Amino acid sequence: MIDEIHHALLKAAAESHDQLIARPTGLNARAAKALFAKLHKTELAVEVVVTADEPHWHSDERGPIGLRLTPAGRKTLGLDAGPDRAETKPRSGTKQALIIAMLRRDEGATLADLMAATGWLAHSTRAAMTGLRKRGMILTKGHDAEGRTVYRLTDDATTEAR
């Protein structure tokens, strides 16, 4: 069972387009860490890498870390589990489908790889990746052997960037 604070946070996330749980303002670091851990441990929310302008709870080597409402979190509120990932598939043959395929490869893709494949500029490519995150896809960021930043899409929120 969740208390009123958890319920309010989850409800606000359920009503937002990105399903991200905002860290309450005025919450000290220790209390925020405990709240983050509880929501994550109970599987009502999943840890995701977000952009700097999205709600985040802390930062680590991957960048800003946020919490996204899970289907279990939505069910706790009495809501449906949300859109099925199959419903959010891009049309085949589109540039978005190409980006998703490249990001799902084991080696992932660099920004330069994605730009070359799509013909887009850097800002458009980054915006497309942000759009994938907003659709609930889990985008991890790491570095390859040459030190280049590599992005990957994964189905498992616990997967670390390689």
pLDDT digits (tens), the chain, 162 positions: 577 888 888 899 888 878 889 888 888 889 888 888 888 888 888 888 888 888 888 888 878 888 888 888 888 888 876 654 444 566 778 898 899 999 999 899 999 999 999 999 999 999 999 888 877 788 888 899 999 999 998 764 444 443
- Select from 76, 96, 127 the last residue of a domain: 76
Are 102 and 134 within one domain? Answer: yes
Q: What is the pLDDT of residue 73?
A: 85
- Per-residue burial over 18-57, b if 16 or more Cβ lie within 10 Å, else e, is bbbbebeeeeeeeeeeebbeebbeeebbbbbbbeeebbbb
Matching residue, tokens 């599987």: 43
Coil, strand or helix: which one is 128? helix
- Select from 22, 54, 76 the last residue of a domain: 76
CA distance 73 to 1: 11
Residue 130 located in a structural domain: yes
Residue 160 located in a structural domain: no
Are 9 and 72 within one domain? Answer: yes
Are 42 and 15 within one domain? Answer: yes
Are 89 and 65 within one domain? Answer: no
Are 14 and 53 within one domain? Answer: yes
Domain that holds residue 62: 4-76
Beta bridge partners of 21: 67
Coil, strand or helix: which one is 54? coil
Q: Which helix (H) or strand (E) holds 139?
A: strand 138-143
Are 89 and 68 within one domain? Answer: no
Residue 50 to residues 87, 98, 137, Cα–Cα distance (Å): 23, 22, 11
CA distance 138 to 158: 10
- Total domains in the fold of the chain: 2
- CATH of residue 139's domain is 1.10.10.10
Q: What is the pLDDT of residue 127?
A: 93
